[in-house]
Amino acid sequence: MQTQTPISSEMQTELNRINEPAGVVRWIPDPQEMLYVILARADHSFFLREPRPQVAELLTPSYEEAAKILLKFVGGSILSDLVKQRVCGAVEFFLRNTCQVSPEAMAEFKKDCPFDPLKCDIFYGLGLNGE
């Protein structure tokens, strides 16, 4: 029988904070905008203001370390596969495209990560009608 490890309230708050923009509660459609909101602790409506902020200017390589920690934290958490897929996928895209992490360094880093968005199939077990 599998026993679930108890989660502290602090961790629950943190998971909720990540779950909101990445999940259905306050879904942010653009993954990079979602990642910025999580990393910078911005409000979910941050990108709705006029003039619209450009995520390419905000999400700079200075967030690289934080993004790597986020990937490991989310990968090992109890969040749903969909949320993990969105957050980890956005982090990988950010590391490869914005921080210019080489494929070898990326493969080395991903060895310690508990979740791989490329290998996870979020539609596993669903029928033809998605039920």
Partner 1 sequence: MAEDYLRPEHRVEITKLEERNHIAAEKLIARQANKAARRAEGKVSRSEAKRIAKELKNNPPPIAPAADPSLIWKKMLEEQQNANANTDKQ
Identity of the residue numbered 53 = P
CB of 29 to partner 1, least distance (A): 5
CB of 104 to partner 1, least distance (A): 24
d(CA 27, CA 21): 5
By CB under 8 A, name the binding residues for partner 1.
3, 5, 8, 10-11, 14, 27, 29-30, 38-39, 41, 45, 47-50, 52, 65-66, 69-70, 72-73, 76-77
Q: Contact 94/109 with Cβ under 8 angstroms?
A: no
CB of 127 to partner 1, least distance (A): 28
Q: Which is nearer to partner 1, 8 or 129 (CB)?
A: 8
99 Cβ contact list (under 8 Å, min separation 6)? 61, 64, 67
Q: Which is nearer to partner 1, 27 or 126 (CB)?
A: 27
DSSP 14-32: HHHHHHHHHSSSS--SSHH
DSSP state of 110: H
Q: Output the six-digit token pair for 90.
A: 């956005």
CB of 68 to partner 1, least distance (A): 9
d(CA 95, CA 90): 9
Q: Which is nearer to partner 1, 1 or 118 (CB)?
A: 1
Q: Which is nearer to partner 1, 3 or 102 (CB)?
A: 3
